[in-house]
């Protein structure tokens, strides 16, 4: 039996080799043959949707401030590594013409309009057919379902979450298309069960080609990796 090649997502771009969540990382992932890029979307103090993983700007830019408390007029001046800037989601939608997995970064009940604004930007760019909306926060995915049922959604979960979250019990209510577990949760039995229930399954973060092959043999349909070149 020949296994179908999984979809390869560049985790924050080709982030092993380029500054994470920058246009340089996304372009490199595309050059390396990735099917798409995964990125993190947050709303900054002035309302724009910026691409940044951490709540704080410190780790990647050296600036002591929170994304939600810093205006884009400041964020756009920061060095995100090797002279790269923190991009707007709109820039990525315009300049990266492959699939984009947009993780909605919000750990609160009130997302400050994040989901609605991301949906607006995706529609404005005409990118509904190449965007996936993902989140650890079920409320963000519920909003995404209400605001944009045409855009596919994925539920993220990890081993450190409460049992009912890491068991993906909310998936049917959210009507997600995909489950994106931390790879340690993706046992062969669970993968088979999820696939029987109709979900695509994407695992993160997988940088070992042997682990990726094992997961794909068990039925995983996509791999989220910092090193897309190793997976192709």
Active-site residue list: 11, 53
- For residue 25, give every residue at least 6 positions away whose Cβ sits within 8 Å of its Cβ, in sequence order, or none: 10, 12, 13, 14, 15, 17, 18, 19, 37, 84
Please report which residue ranges of 32-182 form alpha helices under DSSP H.
58-61, 72-75, 89-95, 114-124, 138-147, 163-166, 171-174
The number of beta carbons lying within 10 Å of the beta carbon of residue 129 is 10
CA-based nearest residue to 224, from 181, 191, 160, 176: 181
Tokens 């229930």 correspond to what residue? 197
Report the length, in residues, of the chain: 232
Long-range contacts of 200-205 (CB under 8 A, 24+ apart): 200/154, 202/7, 202/9, 202/154, 202/178, 204/11, 204/38, 204/156, 204/180, 205/11
């Amino acid at each position: 039996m020949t296994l179908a090649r999984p979809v390869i997502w560049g985790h924050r771009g080709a982030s092993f080799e380029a500054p994470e969540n920058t246009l340089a990382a996304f372009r490199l992932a595309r050059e390396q043959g990735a099917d798409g890029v995964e990125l993190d979307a947050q709303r900054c103090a002035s309302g724009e949707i910026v691409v940044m993983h951490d709540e704080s700007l410190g780790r990647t830019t050296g600036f002591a401030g929170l994304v939600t408390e810093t205006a884009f007029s400041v964020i756009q001046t920061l060095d995100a590594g090797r002279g790269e800037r923190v991009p707007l989601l709109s820039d990525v939608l315009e300049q990266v013409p492959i699939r984009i997995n947009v993780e909605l970064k919000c750990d609160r009940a009130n997302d400050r309009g994040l989901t609605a604004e991301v949906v607006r930007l995706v529609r404005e760019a005409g990118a509904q057919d190449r965007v996936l909306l993902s989140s650890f926060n079920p409320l963000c995915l519920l909003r995404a379902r209400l605001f944009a049922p045409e855009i596919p959604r994925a539920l993220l979960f990890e081993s450190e979450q409460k049992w009912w979250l890491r068991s993906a019990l909310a998936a049917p209510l959210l009507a997600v298309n995909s489950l994106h577990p931390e790879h340690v949760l993706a046992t062969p039995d669970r993968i088979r069960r999820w696939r029987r229930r109709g979900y695509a399954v994407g695992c993160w973060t997988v940088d070992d080609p042997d682990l990726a092959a094992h997961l794909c043999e068990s039925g995983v349909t996509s791999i989220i990796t910092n090193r897309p070149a190793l997976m192709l």
